[in-house]
């Protein structure tokens, strides 16, 4: 009798196990290539798997993912590509490794300004290119991008390389607005105001402002929040500065995107689309806001309190696709102006 009970329990456990295995097999997996650091987005993938049962396999790199996808061709395992900037988005599209994302959910949630007109990419979070201003030496609380070329800032600006993708996007936006001739003139004016040769990253711009090497640094919104809240060693750099949301004259603040693309040869296409749709859900958008200190693209999602403390963001209305179209011109103008020399 005891043996029969053991057999019955074992059979029940085996049946339950097979049920879970069958469900996992049915839900399948999705393969993600990402430029975002895995530690920053793993919580999102874990939540997605918990919600859907779909396993997320991740390949992370700081460069070259679109070239890898192109080399892999039809045998590429990639389903989804996550990027950190419109530059990476544009490079992937130009490499021919994407396909249109056909999703009513994405089209409904993500504003047209932050989607590819042909459907090859969509923004899933935003960041702004802003000013880290010295609390002690900068009294004004409003600055325009055009003003960065004003001689009053001579010897007072710190910035990373003009060819870095974050600056390239800002310079491309300026080029899209004013044309190449005026963009070159502006770049020469900004270069004349630099306190030192462009170097380091956005955090180092805040460091150098704190050290008195310059009065204002150029950086992305989330770096300041990360220094203030997540990095005790660099917190003094944030404490010595404050964030000013600059604007274009007659426009708004330049924003860039973390974007998502659907791979051209996605072997798990349906699951890839499910992941993309999940990333613009309220849950995922709130995680982006609170864990990565980015602006959500979904309306109605609360902005992290640290980021909200910068002031109300009024994004410049220039479509991101137009910025992408001027990336090469901006890169050429940086070299022409000798910006990094």
Angstrom distance (rounded) from CA 22 to CA 26: 6
Place of tokens 């390949």: 59
Assigned token pair, 321: 């696709």
207 with 234: CB under 8 angstroms? yes
CA 253 to chain centre: 16
Query: What gap in Å lies between CA 55 and CA 22, rounded to an integer?
Result: 14
DSSP 115-157: B-TTSSEEEEEEEEEEEEEETTT---S--BSGGGGSGGGTT-E
Three-class secondary structure of residue 243 per DSSP: strand
> 31, 84, 63: which is closest to 262 by C-alpha?
31
Cα(59)–Cα(74) distance, integer angstroms: 18
Q: Tell me if 35 is assigned to a ligand binding site.
A: no
List all residues 6 or more positions away from 72 whose beta carbon is below 8 Å from its beta carbon: 78
User: How many alpha carbons lie under 13 Å from residue 231 in its C-beta half-sphere?
Assistant: 16
CA-CA distance, 205 to 201, in Å (whole number)? Answer: 7
Q: Which residues are documented as binding site?
A: 222-223
Q: Which residues are documented as binding site for Fe cation?
A: 222-223
């Amino acid at each position: 009798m005891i043996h029969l009970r053991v057999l019955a329990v074992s059979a029940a456990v085996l049946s339950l196990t097979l049920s879970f295995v069958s469900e996992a097999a049915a839900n399948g997996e999705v393969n993600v290539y990402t430029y975002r650091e895995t530690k920053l987005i793993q919580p999102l993938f874990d939540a997605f798997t918990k919600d859907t049962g779909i396993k997320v396999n991740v390949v992370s790199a700081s460069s070259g993912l679109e070239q890898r996808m192109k080399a892999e061709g039809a045998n590429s395992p990639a389903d989804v590509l996550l990027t950190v900037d419109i530059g990476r988005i544009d490079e992937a599209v130009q490499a021919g490794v994407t396909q249109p994302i056909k999703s009513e959910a994405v089209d409904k949630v993500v504003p047209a300004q932050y989607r590819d007109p042909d459907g090859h990419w969509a923004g899933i979070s935003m960041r702004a290119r802003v000013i880290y201003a010295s609390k002690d030496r900068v009294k004004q609380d409003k600055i325009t991008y055009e003003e960065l070329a004003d001689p009053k800032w001579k010897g007072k600006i710190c910035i990373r390389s003009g060819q870095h993708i974050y600056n390239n996007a800002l310079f491309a936006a300026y080029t899209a607005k004013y044309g190449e001739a005026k963009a070159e003139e502006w770049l020469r004016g900004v270069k004349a105001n630099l306190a030192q040769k462009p170097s380091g990253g956005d955090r180092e711009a805040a460091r150098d402002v704190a050290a008195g090497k310059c009065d204002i640094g150029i950086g992305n919104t989330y770096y300041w929040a990360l220094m203030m809240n997540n990095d005790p060693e660099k917190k003094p750099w944030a404490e010595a500065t404050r964030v000013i949301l600059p604007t274009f004259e007659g426009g708004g603040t330049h924003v860039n995107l973390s974007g998502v693309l659907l791979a051209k040869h996605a072997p798990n296409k349906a699951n890839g689309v499910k992941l993309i749709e999940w990333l613009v859900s309220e849950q995922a958008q709130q995680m982006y806001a609170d864990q990565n200190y980015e602006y959500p693209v979904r309306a109605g999602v609360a902005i992290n309190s640290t980021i909200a403390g910068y002031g109300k963001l009024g994004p410049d209305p220039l479509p991101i696709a137009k910025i992408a179209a001027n990336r090469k011109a901006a890169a050429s103008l940086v070299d022409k102006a000798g910006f990094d020399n």
